[in-house]
């Protein structure tokens, strides 16, 4: 029974084709993971949450929660070979449990749509900074001038609405063409190039004279700055940056060839992703302190610090342009993966072509995106719960939906799927398998729920 099930799962084919190699898969998941989360979001959430202690919690979350959840997603995706909704229904069935697990996939599809609605707006900012950089706008500009430029830019809904539209259109085009063509090539070049640019910037920030301050801010933990809300934000960031908790990696896992090692692929991606985030912090914070800026400035932080740095470098116009092109690419490859679960679902469920599905879902996301476009200008005073519409979408998806999806995915892989099925996908029951299983069954679900309950104040303090 078990072995015939395994054989059946082994023969299953994805309806959308497969990655051409292990490398292609690793690159695609890295392309999904490395994005605005690393370079735009990571520095500003670290800044808002007080630095070192936040970074430590974030790193711990990546290692003990992020890794096992990522492995769980990939193995579920590869076993089901469908979109996340159908995969969870199918596997639930196959394991003799409920098909209702499909709702977890459904939450992921919805999460992807909501996240992309604001991700695309920031992706649009990045695109427009390609033009700003190329036109030499930042050369020799002061911190005040650059802050004014940014404020003027995000204060104008028509401009950022326009770039949001361009960004969404680009995303729709790639998703419509299918994930293999284009994406692999883009990522193969983009990730190393981005890394190279970050190293150049690092050189500049080391020479700013404030590197020690930046380093201390990022790595000297001041635990008095840590609240449960901050811990929740660190955990949410770990999910967001690794692209886990919403089925993006599960959808990509569905196209993964049988032989590839899920463990080593996950470790490679997590390492690349974390390194780029840390590097971004090391570039940004010295510049923040050197220029008397506020680390807690928020979502616009990198759109000030980096132009400032480039503006003072020789050849800065060129480097800035290259940098924002690369960042746009990074955002683009992540945006594609945010759309993939919803598009795969529409294709399979409603028998549409990829192009039709991509346009339908893309239009929906584009419309929702105007909630975020307007959050920085016309509706900036319209505040409830966590703040503007953007603040609410951000908190709801990143700090609530992703970790919640993560618990359910870990519980599914750890408890609902039997040992044989998961061992089959993870290549045996050796030490790594045992470690994964303990993390997926106990550490990740309990850890996530604990932080959640603490953050909403449902668990009393012991002291």
CA distance 298 to 48: 7
* DSSP string for 161-180: HHHHHHHHHHHHHHHHH-SS
CA dihedral 84, 89, 91, 97 (to 10 degrees): 140
Task: State which of residues 338, 346, 357, 423 lies at the interface with ligand PHE (CB under 6 A).
Answer: 338
Site string for ligand PHE, 316-335 (x = CB under 6 A): ------------------x-
CA distances from 122 to 87, 129, 148, 162, 184 (A): 31, 11, 18, 12, 23
Q: Are 441 and 414 in contact (CB under 8 A)?
A: yes
**In the complex, minimum distance from the CB of residue 402 to ligand PHE, in angstroms, rounded to a whole number:** 7
Q: Does 32 bind ligand PHE (CB under 6 A)?
A: yes
**In the complex, minimum distance from the CB of residue 345 to ligand PHE, in angstroms, rounded to a whole number:** 15
Q: How many residues sit close enough to ligand PHE to count as binding (CB under 6 A)?
A: 15
Give the range of 13-21, 239-247, 283-291, 417-425 binding ligand PHE by CB under 6 A.
239-247
Give the range of 27-35, 124-132, 294-302, 434-442 binding ligand PHE by CB under 6 A.
27-35
CA distance 215 to 270: 22
- Joined together, the tokens standing for residue 166 give 């361009």
Which residue's CB comes closest to ligand PHE? 37
CA distances from 78 to 33, 401, 448 (A): 18, 23, 25
Q: What sign has the CA pseudo-torsion 367, 372, 373, 375? A: positive
Stretch 240-259 residues interacting with ligand PHE (CB under 6 A): 240-241, 243, 246, 248
Rg of the chain, C-alpha, whole Å: 21
- Joined together, the tokens standing for residue 184 give 């692999």
Decide whether 149 or 186 has the Cβ nearer to ligand PHE: 186
Task: State which of residues 36, 74, 198, 327 lies at the interface with ligand PHE (CB under 6 A).
Answer: 36
Give the range of 30-38, 219-227, 260-268, 380-388 binding ligand PHE by CB under 6 A.
30-38
Coil, helix or strand at residue 402: helix
Decide whether 9 or 335 has the Cβ nearer to ligand PHE: 335
Site string for ligand PHE, 102-141 (x = CB under 6 A): -------------x--------------------------
Decide whether 101 or 119 has the Cβ nearer to ligand PHE: 119
Decide whether 391 or 424 has the Cβ nearer to ligand PHE: 391
Stretch 369-408 residues interacting with ligand PHE (CB under 6 A): none
**In the complex, minimum distance from the CB of residue 80 to ligand PHE, in angstroms, rounded to a whole number:** 18
Q: Are 235 and 452 in contact (CB under 8 A)?
A: no
CA distances from 458 to 281, 288, 395, 449 (A): 33, 37, 18, 11
CA distance 5 to 99: 17
Decide whether 72 or 208 has the Cβ nearer to ligand PHE: 72
**306 contacts: CB under 8 Å, gap ≥ 6:** 201, 283, 284, 287, 320, 323
Task: State which of residues 37, 68, 253, 299 lies at the interface with ligand PHE (CB under 6 A).
Answer: 37
Task: State which of residues 38, 230, 328, 372 lies at the interface with ligand PHE (CB under 6 A).
Answer: 38
Q: Does 342 bind ligand PHE (CB under 6 A)?
A: no
The site for ligand PHE (CB under 6 A) is made up of: 32-33, 35-38, 115, 240-241, 243, 246, 248, 334, 337-338
């Amino acid at each position: 029974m078990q072995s015939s099930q395994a054989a059946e799962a082994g023969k299953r084919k994805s309806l959308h084709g497969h990655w051409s190699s292990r490398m292609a898969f690793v690159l695609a998941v890295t392309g999904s993971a490395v994005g605005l989360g690393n370079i735009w979001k990571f520095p500003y959430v670290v800044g808002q949450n007080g630095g070192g202690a936040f970074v430590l919690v974030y790193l711990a979350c990546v290692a003990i929660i992020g890794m096992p959840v990522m492995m769980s997603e990939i193995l579920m995706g590869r076993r089901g070979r469908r979109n996340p909704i159908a995969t969870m229904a199918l596997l639930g069935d196959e394991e003799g449990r409920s098909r209702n697990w499909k709702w977890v996939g459904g939450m992921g599809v919805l999460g992807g749509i909501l996240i992309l609605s604001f991700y695309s707006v920031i992706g649009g900012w990045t695109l427009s900074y390609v033009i700003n950089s190329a036109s030499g706008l930042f050369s020799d500009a002061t911190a005040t001038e650059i802050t004014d430029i940014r404020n003027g830019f995000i204060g104008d809904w028509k401009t950022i609405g326009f770039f949001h539209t361009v960004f969404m259109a680009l995303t729709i085009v790639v998703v419509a063409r299918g994930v293999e063509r284009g994406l692999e090539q883009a990522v193969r070049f983009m990730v190393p190039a981005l890394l190279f640019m970050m190293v150049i910037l690092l050189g500049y920030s080391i020479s700013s004279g404030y590197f020690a301050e930046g380093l201390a801010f990022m790595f000297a933990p001041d635990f008095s700055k840590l609240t449960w809300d901050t811990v929740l934000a660190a955990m949410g960031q770990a999910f967001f940056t690794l692209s886990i908790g919403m089925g993006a990696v599960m959808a990509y896992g569905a196209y993964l060839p049988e032989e590839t090692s899920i463990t080593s692929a996950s470790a490679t991606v997590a390492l690349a992703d974390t390194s780029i985030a840390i590097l971004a912090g090391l570039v940004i914070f010295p510049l923040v302190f050197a220029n008397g800026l506020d680390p807690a400035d928020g979502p616009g932080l990198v759109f000030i610090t980096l132009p400032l740095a480039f503006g003072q470098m020789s050849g800065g116009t060129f480097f800035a342009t290259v940098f924002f092109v690369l960042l746009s690419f990074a955002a683009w490859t992540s945006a594609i993966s945010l759309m993939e679960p919803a598009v795969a679902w529409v294709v399979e469920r409603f028998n549409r072509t990829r192009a039709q599905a991509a346009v339908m879902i893309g239009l929906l996301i584009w419309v929702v995106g105007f909630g975020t476009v307007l959050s920085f200008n016309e509706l900036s005073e319209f505040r409830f719960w966590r703040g503007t519409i953007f603040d609410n979408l951000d908190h709801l998806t990143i700090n609530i939906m992703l970790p919640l999806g993560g618990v359910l995915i870990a519980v599914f892989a750890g408890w609902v799927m039997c040992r044989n099925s998961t061992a089959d996908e993870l290549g045996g029951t050796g030490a790594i398998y045992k470690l994964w299983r303990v993390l997926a069954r106990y550490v990740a679900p309990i850890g996530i729920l604990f932080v959640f309950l603490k953050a909403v104040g449902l668990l009393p303090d012991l002291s």
